């Protein structure tokens, strides 16, 4: 398969990469304290949001590799989170981290109570999870975008299985949505939130 057969997925992968790079750049200057800070009644910390983006990207990369014959060479299909036992390393309890252990639906108090590891550990996981999804998205052929992803529903809250395109675009939106949250929190810390790449 040549890059000429995937200009749309290459573009999607590029925009994933831009969002990921912005999220990683945003945390570079943060102290450990700033990485963990959250408003008393507001959203979760910048560190939590970085983990949350990475965890769902990790999940999608695994799901697409597992269900796509053309991506079999990227296997085995397994989340970095699981293959490296990151939950155990961080002292987090599997099955108590929200929907599919990705933070979604986790009550605010429970999410705020999660003890993030050192910033460098969260950044290392996010960097690897981001890279994996960028590779997976870039390897998909454009002809798959309107096709329904084989197998059962990928995201449990969906009413039915959806197309490759309708998974990739909302997942990219998810990244940018949480990047916006991270930028806002950084602004509340008195720093410039926007990232120039």
The mean pLDDT of 103-120, rounded to a whole number, is 86
pLDDT of residue 194: 74
Task: Report the pLDDT value the prediction gives residue 22, as an integer from 0 to 100.
Answer: 96
C-beta of residue 36 within 8 angstroms of C-beta of residue 116: yes
Q: CB of 49 within 8 A of CB of 178?
A: yes
Domain borders along the chain are 3-188
128: tokens are: 């690897």
Neighbours of 119 (CB within 10 A): 20
- Judge whether residue 85 has pLDDT over 90: yes
Find out if CATH 1.10.357.10 is the number for domain 3-188: no
3-state secondary structure 58-120: HHHHHHHHHHCHHHHHHCCCCCHHHHCCHHHHHCCCCCCCCHHHCCCCCCHHHHHHCCCCCHH
Q: Which of 44, 58, 46, 53 is nearest to 86 (CA)?
A: 58
The CA distance from 53 to 178, in Å, is 7
Model confidence at 3, in pLDDT bands (50, 70, 90)? low
Tell me: the pLDDT tens digits for 115-143?
A: 999 999 999 999 999 999 999 999 999 99
Does an H or E element contain 174, and which? helix 164-188
Condensed to tens digits (0 to 9), the pLDDT of residues 140-189 reads 999 999 999 998 878 877 778 899 999 999 999 999 999 999 999 999 99
In this model, does residue 30 exceed pLDDT 80?
A: yes
- pLDDT of 33 over the 90 cut: yes
Note the pLDDT of residue 58: 96
| Cα(174)–Cα(104) distance, integer angstroms | 11
Confidence (pLDDT) at 174: 95
Question: Can you tell me the distance from the alpha carbon of 60 to that of 114, in angstroms, rounded to the nearest whole number?
Answer: 23
Query: Which two three-digit tokens encode residue 126?
Result: 């996010």
Question: Is 1's pLDDT higher than 80?
Answer: no
**Average pLDDT estimate for 47-62:** 96
- State the average pLDDT over residues 61-85: 93
DSSP type of residue 189: T
DSSP secondary structure code for residue 162 in this structure = -
């Amino acid at each position: 398969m040549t890059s000429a057969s995937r200009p749309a997925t290459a573009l999607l992968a590029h925009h994933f990469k831009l969002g990921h790079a912005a999220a990683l750049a945003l945390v570079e200057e943060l102290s450990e304290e700033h990485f963990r800070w959250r408003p008393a009644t507001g959203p979760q910390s910048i560190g939590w949001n970085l983990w949350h983006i990475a965890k769902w990207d990790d999940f999608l990369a695994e799901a697409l590799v597992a269900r796509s014959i053309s991506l079999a060479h990227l296997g085995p299909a397994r989340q970095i989170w699981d293959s490296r036992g990151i939950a155990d390393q961080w002292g987090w309890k599997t099955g108590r981290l929200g929907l599919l252990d990705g933070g979604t639906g986790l009550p605010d108090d429970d999410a705020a109570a999660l003890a993030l590891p050192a910033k460098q550990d969260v950044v290392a996981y996010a960097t690897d999870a981001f890279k994996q999804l960028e590779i997976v998205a870039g390897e998909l052929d454009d002809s798959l975008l309107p096709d329904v992803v084989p197998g059962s529903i990928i995201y449990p809250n969906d009413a039915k299985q959806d197309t490759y395109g309708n998974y990739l675009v909302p997942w990219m939106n998810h990244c940018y949505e949480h990047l916006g949250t991270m930028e806002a929190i950084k602004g509340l810390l008195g720093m410039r939130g926007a990232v120039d790449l």
